[in-house]
Amino acid sequence: MVLLVLSGCLYWPRLIEEELNQAPTIVASDPRAGDPVELWTDTWVFVQAYDENDPDGLEFVWTLSGLGQQGGAMPIAGQGRHRGSQLFVVANPAYDGRTLSVTINDSFDGQVSRSWELIVPEEAP
Amino acid sequence: MSSRHPLATVAPLALLLAACSDMSIVATNDLASPSAFDTAEVDAAEALTEVIVDVRPSGDADVLPQRFRLDDRSLWSESTLNLQSTITLSGSIRGYAATPVGATVPGEADAPVEARITAFIEGDDHLRVVNSEADGTFALDLPRGQDYHLTVVPITPEALPASYDAGLAFLADSQRDIDLGFGVPVYGRHLQDDGTPVAVSRRPIAYLVDPLTGIAGASTRVDAEGWFALRAQPGTYTLVLEGAEGTTVPRIELPDVLVSESADASSPIVVGAGQVDFAEVTGRVADADGRPVSNASVRFTSVDLDDAAGALEVATETDQNGLFSRQLLPGAWTMRVVPTYEAEGEASPVEQEVVIGAEGSDLGDITLSARVQLEGLVVDTAGAPLGGVVVAIEEAGFDHYVYTATTDVQGAFTCNVPDTALIVRFMPSNDRGVAITPFSLPRPSEGPSTYPLGAGALIAGNASASGSPLPFAVIEVKSPSGESLGTTVTDTNGRYALRIAAP
């Protein structure tokens, strides 16, 4: 009876497997989330991301508030599905109070970002 | 002053070694630019017998960045980088205020000093810096270690000598109280050839630099008559006079200025400025299609000034019409025009020599050449294509902007780049069995069509702190002269591995 119903009365559409993109996640950074970048001297800032399905497609975009995209970011050779990027930030007094951000995009509109406040302490006159 | 690198003159100190129980740290000139590469394929690791490894922990780790030296190639493929724990150096800074409030005799008052304290290990460019509080107290975290330099530069009051110490060991939490004392007066006059000081609005600042560390003491601005007065501990310094922020007076360096207790106070140092008479320079920056380029940085570096002594760098920006104007001293200059960074921009930076006359100059249109496509195929030594390789393309000069691409499954890449000298670094992930390899291209059009990556030399090991693995730390391998050979990260177990280009 069941076989009869399945074979004659119901239509089974073909199943199509869809790969859902998994957005990148940030696994580490220096400074860590929430801490400022204290520019006592010129400093490296870095971020590392993990992407389950698109590590080679990751793009790191660094911006400084009011000054736009920063052009000196250098990729870090990855391990497995981890990728990284680092930016050398000069202790320029004009950067005090600005926000440094990095946005990590994958090839499928997945995105994650992190921001830090820049602090440039007073130096000797 | 902020742009001066505090270790700018440390290079002569290279190869002074420091030994710790489980790490060795080498003094190295870490300031060499990668643009120093001058061969088509950069065999930076060729004939290397040692490498420097900089470890930059993530912000979640409780250890500070540190440097290691692998001075035996047998250590390259398996080494343990055990980062030293963090200790705290605390103390206070005091000095003698030259004009103390409420004192009856000037110079009598012993006062707390707000100062900048800098500590670094010989040959390691990881500086640890803090300012003391208004009451003179400070606390500075730094890695446990030996052969530290410790400098103290007064901020308030400023008319005090700086302090420079070397050969210090900080192996546990320590207390150090520093008295800057009176020092010895160093004074002089900055005068033009005609015997007059420069215009009041252009009065330069004067300061002394410790030639050993490159760290400058407190500065003072020369007065309306050109006089300046500084204080320093006895020693040999470089005296520098340069334009204060916002002014443009050539920088003059007088090396080997001897400061001693027995100095003849009646002998001021006379610094000849030549003749500082400015002329107006104008121009317009346009792209290859003649359109104005706004917000471009226009920088001038003096090559040979006609009448003024010293050297000078000045900069300005173009307005929305691509126009700029700047006062310069007559003479020969190198002009660099750098457009703002855009990953898919249209203009390339340019460098050219210009001569400025006494009456000024209109430089006319300065044309930035168009960006170009850099293409290539990345293969292993057997000719097999290498997909998924990150390509980092860095300008070999100017602002060292970096443009990135990733090779496709056929090993091919293409990237929109400036039409200028480039360093192209291929950065395969460490499980590919090929080396991070840089190539130097005089121009994009002179690059090869195929870039072969060899196996290179393996640099691998574990990074740890207090016996625990150090995950997610950045590992950068450098040559002894400071050229970056490759960068990777540690995994969750503190394990790192990368291959650098080497025979």
At B365-397, the pLDDT tens digits run 999 999 999 999 999 999 999 999 999 999 999
Under the banding of pLDDT at 50, 70 and 90, the label for residue B42 is very low
Rounded to whole angstroms, the Cα distance separating A84 from A27 reads 10
Least confident of B79-88, B119-128, B238-247: B238-247
Smallest Cβ–Cβ distance between B429 and the set A68, A77, A123 belongs to A77
Chain A to chain B Cβ contacts (< 8 Å): 132
B426 touches chain A (CB under 8 A): no
Instruction: Quote the pLDDT of residue B28.
Output: 29
Least confident of B242-251, B253-262, B279-288, B485-494: B242-251
In chain B, how many H helices and how many E strands?
0, 39
Helix (H, G, I), strand (E, B) or coil at B267: coil
For residue B7, pLDDT over 90 is answered with: no
A29 touches chain B (CB under 8 A): yes
pLDDT tens sequence across A35-54:
999 999 999 999 999 999 98
Least confident of A61-70, A103-112, B24-33, B424-433: B24-33
- Is the CB of B58 less than 8 angstroms away from the CB of A41? no
- Is the CB of B343 less than 8 angstroms away from the CB of A125? no
- Is the CB of A79 less than 8 angstroms away from the CB of B401? no
Instruction: Quote the pLDDT of residue B260.
Output: 87
- Is the CB of B491 less than 8 angstroms away from the CB of A82? yes
- Is the CB of A31 less than 8 angstroms away from the CB of B471? no
> Which is more confident, B500 or A77?
B500
A117 touches chain B (CB under 8 A): no
Rounded to whole angstroms, the Cα distance separating B253 from B216 reads 12
CA distance to partner chain B, nearest, from residue A72 (Å): 5
A28 touches chain B (CB under 8 A): yes
pLDDT tens sequence across A93-108:
999 999 999 999 999 9
B250 touches chain A (CB under 8 A): no
Query: Domain locations in chain A?
Result: 25-119
| pLDDT, averaged across chain B | 87
- Is the CB of A72 less than 8 angstroms away from the CB of B154? no
Under the banding of pLDDT at 50, 70 and 90, the label for residue A123 is confident
Least confident of A85-99, B106-120, B346-360: B106-120
Rounded to whole angstroms, the Cα distance separating B212 from B73 reads 31
B349 touches chain A (CB under 8 A): no
CB neighbour list of residue B51: distance below 8 Å, 6 or more residues apart = B45, B69, B70, B76, B459, B477, B478, B479, B480, B485, B500
pLDDT tens sequence across A69-94:
999 999 998 788 899 999 999 999 99
pLDDT tens sequence across A23-35:
999 999 999 999 9
Under the banding of pLDDT at 50, 70 and 90, the label for residue B460 is very high
Smallest Cβ–Cβ distance between B404 and the set A30, A44, A75 belongs to A75
Pairing between strand B235-243 and B204-209? antiparallel
pLDDT tens sequence across B147-188:
999 999 999 887 899 999 999 999 999 999 999 988 888 999
Smallest Cβ–Cβ distance between B59 and the set A32, A68, A79 belongs to A32
- Is the CB of B60 less than 8 angstroms away from the CB of A32? yes
Instruction: Quote the pLDDT of residue A5.
Output: 52
Instruction: Quote the pLDDT of residue B344.
Output: 86
For residue B17, pLDDT over 50 is answered with: no
For residue B103, pLDDT over 60 is answered with: no
Residue of A nearest to B395 (CA): A72
Span B90-97, average pLDDT: 91
Under the banding of pLDDT at 50, 70 and 90, the label for residue B32 is very low
> Which is more confident, B39 or A64?
A64
CA distance to partner chain A, nearest, from residue B388 (Å): 6
The residues facing B336 across adjacent strands are: B299, B351
For residue B1, pLDDT over 60 is answered with: no
Span B236-260, average pLDDT: 91
Span B281-291, average pLDDT: 96
CATH H-level, domain A25-119: superfamily: Immunoglobulins (2.60.40.10)
A52 touches chain B (CB under 8 A): no
Smallest Cβ–Cβ distance between A125 and the set B3, B56, B219 belongs to B219
Cβ contact B275:B192 at 8 Å: yes
Rounded to whole angstroms, the Cα distance separating B161 from B154 reads 7
Rounded to whole angstroms, the Cα distance separating B250 from A54 reads 53
Which tokens in the block code for residue A112?
């994650």
For residue B10, pLDDT over 60 is answered with: no
B260 touches chain A (CB under 8 A): no
Interface probe, candidates A29, A45, A46, A119, chain B, greatest B C-beta count within 10 A: A46
B437 touches chain A (CB under 8 A): no
Under the banding of pLDDT at 50, 70 and 90, the label for residue B263 is low
| Residue B107: Cβ within 10 Å count | 12
3-state secondary structure B334-371: EEEEECCCCCCCCECCEEEEEEECCCCEEEEEEECCEC
Instruction: Quote the pLDDT of residue A78.
Output: 79
Interface probe, candidates B2, B31, B35, chain A, greatest A C-beta count within 10 A: B2
Q: Which amino acid is at A87?
A: L
Q: At which residue do the structure tokens 């900069």 appear? A: B315
- Is the CB of A69 less than 8 angstroms away from the CB of B343? yes
Give Cα separations from A49 to A93, B392, B432 (angstroms). 30, 18, 19
Instruction: Quote the pLDDT of residue B269.
Output: 94
Smallest Cβ–Cβ distance between A71 and the set B2, B399, B490 belongs to B399
Helix (H, G, I), strand (E, B) or coil at B401: coil
For residue A73, which residues of chain B lie inside 8 Å, CB to CB? 402
3-state secondary structure A93-114: HHHCCCEEEEEEECCCCCEEEE
